[in-house]
A and B are shown apart, each in its own frame.
Chain A
Amino acid sequence: MRGWSGDGPLDLSDRLVIVPTRQSGRRLREALALHAAARHQAVFPPRVCLPEQLVSDDEAGAESTGVATRHEALFAWVEVILSVELDSFDELFPVQPAARNFAWAARLARHFLRVQSALAENGLRMADVPAAAGGPFPELGRWTQLALLERHYDHVLAGLDLIDPQAARIGRAGNAPPPDGVKRMVIVAAPDPHPLAVRFLARCARTIPVEVLVFRSAPDLQADHALFDEWGRPRTEAWSNRALEIGKFESRVHLCSDPSAQAGRIIDAIQAAAGASGGGANVDGVLGIGIADPEIAAPLRNALLRAGRTAFDPEGRSRRSEPLYWLLELLGDLAREPAFATVAALARCPDILRWLENETAGGDRFSPARWLCGLDDLNTRHLPATLAAAQAHAGTPAYASAFPELAPGLERIAGLHGLMATGAFPSIAHEPLARIFRARRFDLENDDDARSVESARAWMQACESVGRAARRFPRSSSHDAWEAALEALGESVRFDPKPADAIELQGWLELLWDDAPHLIVAGLNDGRVPTAIVGDAFLPESLRERLGLKTNAARLARDAYLLQALIAARQAHGRCDLLLGKTSAAGDPLRPSRLLLACDDGTLPSRVRFLFREIKAARAAVPWQRAWMLRPVEPLRAITRMPVTGFRNYLACPFRFYLRHGLRMEPVDPHKAELDARDFGNLCHAAVEAMGNNHSLRETTDAAVLREYLFDALDRRVRAVYGADLPLPLVIQLESARQRLARTAEIQAQLHAEGWIIEEVERPLEFAIGPITVRAKIDRIDLHPESGARRVLDYKTSDKPVNPQSAHLRQISRHENIDTLPKHVRFATRGESLAWIDLQLPLYLHTLGTESGTPVSCGYFNLPKAANETAIALWDDYAPEWQSAALRCAAGIAEAVAAGAFWPPNKIDAATDDFAALFLHGTAASVAWPQPAPHA
């Protein structure tokens, strides 16, 4: 701009300005525009690029010049890796891979591409390494083989008239003329351009002026040439051991426990800056924020959000965390295998929910809640392994009526699978999305919609690039191409425009361009500033040095210069605060940056004591706590009817009773993969019920006949509930059920031989206990016609046989505070104090006794794990006084239920508590129960 009078537009269009980062380029353009505008003039901006862009083409440029795109390079490497004899490359592959497939080769290919890219920084290719290393080194043989492999790779590309992109960069650095129309090049505050870029600039400098601008603000620094080389790079020898001036060290350097603590300190500074500037949201130009450790960005973003502010990350956001990425990943899984688990995950994607909603025709209303509920229900009841199995169940009238979204929704997802299973790439990548989004209207004024459209565009570009490569290298399958495109999308970055008043989270290299008087830099830890490479599979530091690649020492020198410049610029007017962490978010210990220890000998011990002191973790004393209390909806639901099992539930815990019977809550396991205890019991019940209903089997004493019948009934039931296509656990569980039923058949045959017949099964009961109507179904009633004896039996399929008395009563311990038990729950008999834990069998006896007028006994038909323990366990010494105690208890419970007495809760072991996930630090501490208990 020197020499611009301001009389006409500021014309810099023949300049090429080289800046260190994208953001610095944006800042430069912005500053030029403001500068020109101050004189009411327009600006014709210069071309701006990063050093590495000087010698590289973008993807579009590559296409036209015969340079392989990154995907063509990737696929060419894959081709080579999969086709060569690995035995001939034993130095490189001392171990044969377990599976030589595309996925393995692609991972390796990416690694080779990274090595090529690193070497190209100094104009080297793999083949150049042995010579460039300047003497023998331990891996000469390995690099010789790598060079040979690279030659194969070049050959494969050449066969398609392509050249390697790094070879093209190197060639361009050596041959290409300065960019068209550029009459002057200016390197502005770019402290570490790659040697390859420098080589190109050096050549350009022979024909056009190349100017180097170095940012310096401390007048007492040594002469420039002692500190910087001719390209503005800090000299390693001058900066590596230089003492840095950090004034008021102990009040400017802040040791924080972890990333969150650093974020907290930044928020405090932002609030203070906003307060000082009159409380406005905008702190631009007053306070600059630098983040040298990416781990701090997430807690800081969240903290800003909580403080009502927005963060802006000029380095962009990875698309890997975007909804589209997740959607595509699941679609890829669906294409590979239409498992129900994948469908269930896909069904929860917001885009799928919107699609299904849009597709729902006519007056029907799509309810996302009902759709997801239906899927959970389907999984809980039928355990479908595949999408097809789920569709078979969803098509039944019961599901069609309860969850009308289910069958059409699954049908639509099956349609997506059909598209992807039969098509070719890239159409399989486009068509599912086209279908999912076809009825969707995107409002580009809406940020979310604009982002979605932009991501979709990125996906299309990735598919196009991969598709072109895949056509040239047909060894890859559609699925491989999909994975490659998804990887490309995940690696890409989204750049958003900066929202007004957003707080900019600048990277370390951006900070030199920020002229805010107050700068806070967080993450001043070693490994972050400066970064360091120690150990590498191909390019360890010692080899990097020998090859002239960027070294740890060069990084240290660059960062020492940057830090000194940042501080020096604010020495007279302003301040620079430096934050560093004691640990990472995962708790790994962090060390202070060596830059903070770059001081004279006299100061070093006190710096060490200051930086390596013990500090308290900010969050150590904060335990997990509930964000809010659970508050039952008022008025409480009145309960007038309940199943007989409700008594057991109430006795276990009145509050959980209310959750189950009042609010109808029950646990859902979304990852359920096999029958739970109830399902297993239901299957066995169904078989024995069928046997009991078959009167022709009433007197059969042939166990084999009964067994076959039970097996058949079981199979029918399994097919009806779970279909023919069973997941593996069910196959085993079914076999387990068969073993139990085989033994049941033997016992039943024996009972028949003893003269017992099954009189009735699954007998429904309904009776009143106080104000409550109780429902029940008696599993079976056996009759001995000869003696007239009758007994009520309940099946139990728990692993261990159950004793009726211990299932209904427990002894009250001497240490127990008896007052905590309501009177109706306890009673004394035969010198023992007992408490009821269940009332099922006594209530059956009560009902049947009243009904038939004849004495009836009761017990369990146990079908436990150990076959020899399959037997009827009768409640032998059931006494009449127990019956009246049981009825008193039932009446007491019925009164309490009717009165809405569901509080306080009882303590239940979390391992057996269905509702444990709801409670933290105990039930009482988690629930705000309405006091006094109102009820409807």
Chain B
Amino acid sequence: MTGPRHEMILASAGSGKTFALTDRFVQLLAIGARPEQIVALTFTRKAAGEFFDGILNKLASAASDPANARELAIRTGASRSEPAAFLSLLREVIDAMPRLSLSTLDAFFARIVRSFPLELGLAGDFEILQEHAALLERRRVLQRIFKSTGNEPDESQRNFIEAFKRVIFGLEEKRLAARLDSFLNDYHEVYLSAPDGALWGDPKRIWPDGCSWLGGGQGAPGGALRDWATTAPIAEKQQRRWFAFLDALELWAPGATPPREMTYVIEKALAAWDSLARGNAVLEFDRKKQELSRSACSALRAIVLHVVGGEIQRRLETTRGIHAVLDGYERVYQDAVRRAGRLTFADVQRLLQGGPALCAAADAARTRNSDPLFEERRLLIDWRLDGQFDHWLLDEFQDTSAGQWSVL
């Protein structure tokens, strides 16, 4: 038989991917891999259980029936197809049971963190917070943030308020706790995977070559357009459209939902964007065409730039504000929860992503053997985990996040 190669099994649900993965496990055993050298990871606990059951039943079936043994040997390319060969593999897997790395990704990551607490900044063993416990911790942290302001908020509270205001960008918000809760639901994971403030809402980073919508205007020059609409040869209904648009524009501020009077005209302007730039746009209002003068084109273009640019600017500011709010929350959370040895599975994963000492090994792994640190670190990881991992099987790989993959 040929040696195993990297392999991806891409198939529709129910077509036997997991079955194929258990075959792969047997194949690896058949070519001499020790069971504890194989890491097989699933997403759900149920799948992990079924996976192991599948392997053992497959081996047991082949170990007791020559026909099943031949069939399994053909499927896995095993060189020996007699039941005794599979019985020996079965015994090997059973003996290795406590050393096997066949579990969910979460459990595997937790096992690694337990073996490297000091390398990951922990002070010892830790407790995994299940969903409800994590919710209670969040409440405790929020209580700490919300504690009495005394007569005046302290500096961290002032920073928090400022950050919150940036999030809502001038729009008032009457529910802080509720809003914060929704931030945490929506963005906390994103924040934790990218805690660097420079990654949040920086236009230079998003558009390194500049964003044509930004820096467009010092306000909406509605006057020129109003003058044109007042004198242009257009129907009264169209004129009313223009005036309604300009009136709504005066009341509008970035962040507010633009009323229909505004969106109607802006959509028309965007549809004719190129001709507006050329100064010869023809817009159709209520199925009637109207030709805009060069100055009207220019004024309308400036207004659209102002509105779109203002909205983008607001969103950038909101993004920075969300980062600042989450950053404030995180500082308290880190201090009160993680440092006290209470981690969620997501925390475990992030620790592994960010653990410098282990990262060195991971980096070295990427440049295999080119870095002398690699073997040393690899040896250390194998030593602490009582294993040496040579083969990796991942179920539901499409659901593996970039963070999980980086840890693996």
A contacts, CB < 8 Å to B? 92-99, 103-105, 107-108, 110-111, 137-139, 337, 339, 341, 385-386, 389, 526-527, 532, 534-537, 540-543, 552, 582-583, 586-591, 594, 597, 601, 604-606, 608-609, 612-614, 671, 673-675, 677, 680, 724-729, 731-733, 735-737, 739-740, 797, 799, 865-868
| Cα(A93)–Cα(B121), bound, Å | 8
Q: Is the CB of A108 within 8 A of B60?
A: no
Contacts of B107 in A (CB 8 A): 588
Q: Is the CB of B111 within 8 A of A535?
A: yes
Q: Is the CB of A728 within 8 A of B384?
A: no
Instruction: Say yes or no: is B67 at the interface (Cβ < 8 Å to chain A).
Output: no
Q: Is the CB of B146 within 8 A of A385?
A: yes
Contacts of B56 in A (CB 8 A): 608, 612
How near does chain A come to B135, taking the closest CB pair, in angstroms?
11
Q: Is the CB of A107 within 8 A of B148?
A: no
> A107-B124, A605-B64 are contacts. A724–B384 as well, Cβ < 8 Å?
no
Show 14 residue pairs from A and B whose CB-CB distance is below 8 angstroms, ordered by the A residue: A97-B121, A98-B335, A107-B341, A111-B124, A535-B387, A552-B98, A601-B87, A606-B60, A608-B90, A612-B53, A677-B174, A729-B177, A732-B161, A736-B174
Q: Is the CB of A535 within 8 A of B386?
A: yes
- In the A-B complex, list the 4 residue pairs whose CB atoms are closest, starting with the nearest: A589-B49, A385-B148, A532-B98, A605-B64
Instruction: Say yes or no: is B226 at the interface (Cβ < 8 Å to chain A).
Output: no
The number of chain B residues with a CB under 8 A from chain A is 81
Q: Which residues of B (156-212) have their CB < 8 Å from a CB of A?
A: 157, 160-161, 164, 171-178
How near does chain A come to B301, taking the closest CB pair, in angstroms?
24
A137 to B, closest residue via Cβ: B383
How near does chain A come to B5, taking the closest CB pair, in angstroms?
29
Q: Is the CB of A386 within 8 A of B386?
A: no
B146's contact among A93, A110, A729, by CB below 8 Å, is which?
A729
A537's contact among B64, B114, B256, B356, by CB below 8 Å, is which?
B114
| Cα(A341)–Cα(B148), bound, Å | 11
| Cα(A601)–Cα(B86), bound, Å | 11
Q: Is the CB of A729 within 8 A of B176?
A: yes
Mark interface residues in B41-52 (1 if CB within 8 Å of A CB, else 0): 000011011101
Contacts of B334 in A (CB 8 A): 98
Q: Is the CB of A526 within 8 A of B383?
A: no
Q: Is the CB of A728 within 8 A of B340?
A: no
Mark interface residues in B91-134 (1 if CB within 8 Å of A CB, else 0): 10011011100000001000110111111110111000010000
Which segment, of B20-28, B137-145, B280-288, faces chain A? Answer: B137-145
Q: Is the CB of B99 within 8 A of A534?
A: yes
Q: Which residues of B (370-408) have their CB < 8 Å from a CB of A?
A: 376, 379-380, 383-387
Instruction: Say yes or no: is B293 at the interface (Cβ < 8 Å to chain A).
Output: no
Q: Is the CB of A540 within 8 A of B386?
A: yes
> A385-B147, A537-B384, A726-B149 are contacts. A604–B60 as well, Cβ < 8 Å?
yes
Q: Is the CB of A95 within 8 A of B90?
A: no
Q: Is the CB of A591 within 8 A of B97?
A: yes
Q: Is the CB of B53 within 8 A of A614?
A: yes
| Cα(A542)–Cα(B386), bound, Å | 7
Q: Is the CB of B161 within 8 A of A604?
A: no
Instruction: Say yes or no: is B150 at the interface (Cβ < 8 Å to chain A).
Output: yes
Q: Is the CB of A341 within 8 A of B143?
A: yes
Q: Is the CB of A608 within 8 A of B386?
A: no
Q: Is the CB of B123 within 8 A of A727?
A: no
How near does chain A come to B90, taking the closest CB pair, in angstroms?
6
Q: Is the interface of B mostly helix, strand, loop or mixed?
A: helix
A386's contact among B114, B148, B161, B387, by CB below 8 Å, is which?
B148
Contacts of B173 in A (CB 8 A): 732, 736, 865
Q: Is the CB of B153 within 8 A of A731?
A: yes
Q: Is the CB of B385 within 8 A of A540?
A: yes
Which of A95, A110, A543 neighbours the largest number of chain B CB atoms within 10 Å of its CB? A95
> A99-B339, A608-B57 are contacts. A726–B383 as well, Cβ < 8 Å?
no
A108's contact among B50, B123, B335, by CB below 8 Å, is which?
B123
Contacts of B117 in A (CB 8 A): 111, 537
> A536-B115, A601-B87 are contacts. A527–B151 as well, Cβ < 8 Å?
no
A97's contact among B91, B114, B123, by CB below 8 Å, is which?
B123
Q: Is the CB of A604 within 8 A of B383?
A: no
Which of B56, B59, B251, B252 neighbours the largest number of chain A CB atoms within 10 Å of its CB? B56
Contacts of A389 in B (CB 8 A): 148
Q: Is the CB of A865 within 8 A of B384?
A: no
A866's contact among B90, B116, B161, B256, by CB below 8 Å, is which?
B256
Q: Is the CB of A606 within 8 A of B64?
A: yes
Contacts of A799 in B (CB 8 A): 174
> A731-B161, A865-B173 are contacts. A95–B385 as well, Cβ < 8 Å?
no
Q: Which residues of B (242-299) have their CB < 8 Å from a CB of A?
A: 251-253, 256-257
| Cα(A267)–Cα(B64), bound, Å | 37
| Cα(A380)–Cα(B153), bound, Å | 22
| Cα(A613)–Cα(B115), bound, Å | 33
Q: Is the CB of B356 within 8 A of A728?
A: no
How near does chain B come to A382, taking the closest CB pair, in angstroms?
12
Contacts of B175 in A (CB 8 A): 674, 729, 733
Q: Is the CB of A728 within 8 A of B60?
A: no
Q: Is the CB of A604 within 8 A of B63?
A: yes
Instruction: Say yes or no: is B357 at the interface (Cβ < 8 Å to chain A).
Output: yes
Q: Is the CB of B120 within 8 A of A726?
A: no
Q: Is the CB of A728 within 8 A of B176?
A: yes
Mark interface residues in B312-337 (1 if CB within 8 Å of A CB, else 0): 00000000000000000000001100
